[in-house]
């Protein structure tokens, strides 16, 4: 398992030189899963035979710095012939007949897929406790949550059960678990990575992105998965240089905004300290810090949860017990089939969000809630645009606190929703966001700093993160501790 202390790029270089084989690394991942996952519960399903066969017979046409490096995939991303459950009873036995575009690209790059990682059911949650297959535990403290909904992906990387992973981010679901688990997570600009084959939660917010040990690995994975896809109507047809090749680590002359609203009451003092120290590190590297205001912050949680639940209620209407998915037994009518299949197939959090979404879209309430939320979303986008006229990026916490205890958020839904306050604006505006480990609290739990850029500045944002990680050792220390 010593192999797994290396980054994905380091392993890729060793494989390319013939010092180790892809099968060596993949076998080490499965050994780590065998040793640790009974405690962490990061995986829903493994594809050991498939991954080992991919590792043993790499396609000669595959090329790139990650060739031969195994990867884990969140269980809401379709994998041909391998179960994709969305951590739900509704899809517990669903085997997709096709690969998501990102999975096709991973295979073409010669990256064996070791398995499907655990998550909140249908990506609806911030703790990875709503999974039908049991809660994921934080490797740094098994009594705490790993964050969500990509908690399995972040926990697997933090625990050394995966070299790297793909997650999805609807309101912070890559960045928040990356912060809680002390790893690096990147949410790309909306439309930069194809959503074809991603099981939809909220289609205007969902985006696939990488979770890894460091920024360089995230950039290399972006080089694999990014790009236009005609099968996704929201995919942007924009050219971009290699994200990895764009990493220079020079922040001199950059202006980084520090929003005062994100460091006020409700933010843990240890979190404030660590993130502000991260900002000061940028200042010492030659960047300029600029105090800014984000007047919309009090509106982001209601705006997000109106839009997200409305889209969820529409997207999840397809799970009715007819074509695929769970079907209830002993049914006497079509109405009973729908009602019982959905009542038994969905968990409590999913059902609550479907009901909320149906309410805000219903006759008499559409204008009062959904239409108003869309108007506020436009205002948020406009305000971000004004701020980015003065700043190259923003810095503030990923979450107001470090990882809570298991069960605490489930008993207080509002607390769970408020934990997303610093991540949901990024999804509402379609911006890129990066979570960087920047310290620990008094209990030793990881803290993440969040860098936000304007739309399409993904490469520049990754370069900012790279500069910080070149100048500090926090991400390496946390990666080797869990």
Indicate the DSSP class of residue 396.
E
pLDDT digits (tens, 9 = 90+) for 280-302: 999 999 999 999 999 999 999 99
Between CA 132 and CA 59 the distance in angstroms is 36
Cβ-proximal residues to 82 (8 Å cutoff; 6+ apart), any chain: 45, 47, 50, 95, 96, 113, 116
Mean pLDDT of 45-52: 95
Confidence class for position 363, pLDDT limits 50, 70, 90 = confident
> What percent of the chain is predicted at pLDDT more than 90?
93
- What domains does the chain contain, in order, with CATH numbers? 2-253+391-479 (3.90.1300.10)
Residue with tokens 């070149």: 470
Average of per-residue pLDDT values in the chain? 96
Confidence class for position 44, pLDDT limits 50, 70, 90 = very high
Question: At 291, phi and psi to the nearest 5?
Answer: -65, 130
| Higher pLDDT pick, 286 / 330 | 286
Other beta carbons less than 10 A from residue 443's beta carbon: 11
DSSP H helical ranges for 346-420? 348-361, 372-387, 413-418
- Residue 399 preceded by cis peptide, ω within 30: no
Cα→Cα distances 3→19, 26, 476, Å? 11, 10, 15
Mean pLDDT of 323-352: 95
pLDDT given at position 413:
76
Confidence class for position 77, pLDDT limits 50, 70, 90 = very high
The answer on pLDDT for 268 being more than 90 is yes
CB half-sphere exposure, 138, CA atoms < 13 A: 29
Would you say 187 and 222 are in contact if contact means Cβ atoms under 8 Å apart?
no
Please, what sign has the CA dihedral across residues 187, 191, 192, 196?
Answer: positive
The answer on pLDDT for 450 being more than 80 is yes
Would you say 243 and 221 are in contact if contact means Cβ atoms under 8 Å apart?
no
pLDDT digits (tens, 9 = 90+) for 190-210: 999 999 999 999 999 999 999
Confidence class for position 410, pLDDT limits 50, 70, 90 = confident
pLDDT given at position 481:
58
Cβ-proximal residues to 429 (8 Å cutoff; 6+ apart), any chain: 377, 380, 381, 384, 455
Residue 439 is inside which H or E element, if any?
strand 433-440
Question: At 290, phi and psi to the nearest 5?
Answer: -130, 115
Mean pLDDT of 365-372: 94
Cβ-proximal residues to 426 (8 Å cutoff; 6+ apart), any chain: 172, 175, 187, 432, 433, 452
Cα→Cα distances 102→77, 107, 198, 468, Å? 8, 9, 9, 28
List the strands of the sheet with 207-212, edge to edge: 43-46, 113-117, 71-74, 165-169, 207-212, 184-187, 433-440, 446-452, 393-397, 255-259, 288-292
Mean pLDDT of 270-288: 98
Query: What's the CA angle centered on 94, arms 90 and 95, to 5 degrees?
Result: 165
The number of angstroms, rounded, from the C-alpha of 406 to the middle of its chain's C-alpha atoms is: 20
pTM over 0.85? The answer is: yes
> Which of 216, 89, 206 is closest to 149 using CA atoms?
206
Indicate the DSSP class of residue 170.
S
Between CA 400 and CA 267 the distance in angstroms is 4
Would you say 387 and 294 are in contact if contact means Cβ atoms under 8 Å apart?
yes
Between CA 91 and CA 245 the distance in angstroms is 40
Mean pLDDT of 465-474: 97
Residue with tokens 């999805």: 168
* CB burial readout 350-385, b (16+ within 10 A) else e: bbebbebbbebbeeeeeeebbeebeebbeebbebbe
* CB burial readout 43-78, b (16+ within 10 A) else e: bbbbbbebbbebbeebeeeeebbbbbbbbbbbbbbb
Q: Which of the residues are catalytic?
A: 74, 149, 173
pLDDT given at position 432:
98
pLDDT given at position 333:
95
Structure token digits, residue 106:
């991973």
> Which of 272, 250, 253 is closest to 263 using CA atoms?
272
Confidence class for position 418, pLDDT limits 50, 70, 90 = confident
pLDDT given at position 62:
77
pLDDT given at position 381:
98
The answer on pLDDT for 142 being more than 60 is yes
pLDDT given at position 455:
98
pLDDT given at position 480:
64
Query: Between 215-225 and 8-16, two packed helices, what is the crossing angle to 10 degrees?
Result: 70
pLDDT digits (tens, 9 = 90+) for 377-396: 999 999 999 999 999 999 99
Residue with tokens 């590297």: 285
In the chain the first and final C-alpha atoms are separated, in Å, by 13
Residue with tokens 């360089």: 216
The answer on pLDDT for 164 being more than 70 is yes
pLDDT digits (tens, 9 = 90+) for 305-321: 999 999 999 999 999 99
């Amino acid at each position: 398992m010593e192999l797994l202390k290396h980054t994905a790029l380091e392993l890729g270089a060793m494989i390319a030189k013939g010092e180790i084989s892809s099968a060596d690394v993949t076998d080490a991942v499965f050994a780590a899963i065998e040793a640790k996952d009974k405690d962490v519960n990061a995986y829903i399903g493994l594809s050991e035979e498939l991954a080992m066969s991919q590792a043993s017979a790499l396609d000669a046409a595959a090329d790139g710095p990650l060739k031969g490096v195994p990867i884990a995939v969140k269980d809401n991303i379709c994998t041909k012939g391998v179960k994709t459950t969305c951590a739900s009873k509704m899809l517990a036995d669903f085997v997709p007949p096709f690969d998501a575009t990102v999975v096709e690209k991973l295979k073409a790059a010669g990256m064996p897929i070791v398995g499907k990682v655990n998550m909140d059911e249908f990506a609806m949650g911030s703790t990875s406790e709503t999974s039908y297959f049991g809660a994921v535990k934080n490797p740094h403290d098994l009594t705490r949550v790993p964050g969500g909904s990509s908690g399995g992906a972040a926990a697997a990387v933090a625990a050394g059960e995966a070299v790297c992973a793909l997650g999805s981010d609807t309101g912070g679901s890559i960045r928040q678990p990356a912060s809680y688990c002390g790893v690096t997570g990147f949410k790309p600009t909306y439309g930069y990575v194809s959503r074809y084959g991603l099981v939809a939660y909220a289609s205007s917010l969902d985006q696939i992105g990488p979770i890894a040990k460091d920024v360089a690995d995230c950039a290399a994975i972006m080089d694999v998965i990014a790009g236009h896809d005609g099968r996704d109507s929201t995919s942007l047809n924009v050219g971009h240089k290699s994200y990895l090749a764009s990493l220079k680590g020079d922040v001199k002359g950059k202006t980084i905004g520090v929003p005062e609203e994100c460091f006020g009451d409700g933010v843990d003092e240890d979190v404030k300290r660590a993130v502000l120290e991260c900002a000061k590190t940028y200042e010492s590297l030659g960047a300029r810090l600029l105090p800014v205001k984000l007047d919309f912050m009090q509106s982001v949680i209601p705006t997000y949860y109106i839009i997200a639940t409305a889209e969820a209620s529409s997207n999840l209407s397809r799970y009715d017990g007819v074509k695929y998915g769970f079907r209830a037994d002993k049914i006497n009518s079509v109405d009973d089939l729908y009602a019982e299949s959905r009542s038994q197939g969905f968990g409590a959090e999913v059902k609550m969000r479907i009901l909320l979404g149906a309410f805000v879209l219903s006759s008499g309430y559409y204008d009062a809630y959904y239409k108003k939320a869309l108007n506020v979303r436009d205002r948020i986008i406009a305000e971000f645009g004004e701020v980015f006229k003065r700043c190259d990026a923003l810095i503030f916490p990923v979450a107001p606190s470090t990882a809570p205890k298991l069960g605490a958020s489930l008993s207080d839904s509002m607390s769970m929703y408020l934990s997303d306050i610093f991540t949901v604006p990024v999804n509402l505006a379609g911006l890129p966001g990066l979570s960087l480990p920047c310290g620990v609290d008094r209990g030793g739990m990881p803290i993440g700093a969040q860098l936000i850029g304007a739309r399409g500045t993904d490469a520049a944002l990754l370069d900012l993160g790279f500069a910080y990680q070149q100048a500090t050792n926090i991400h390496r220390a946390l990666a080797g501790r869990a």
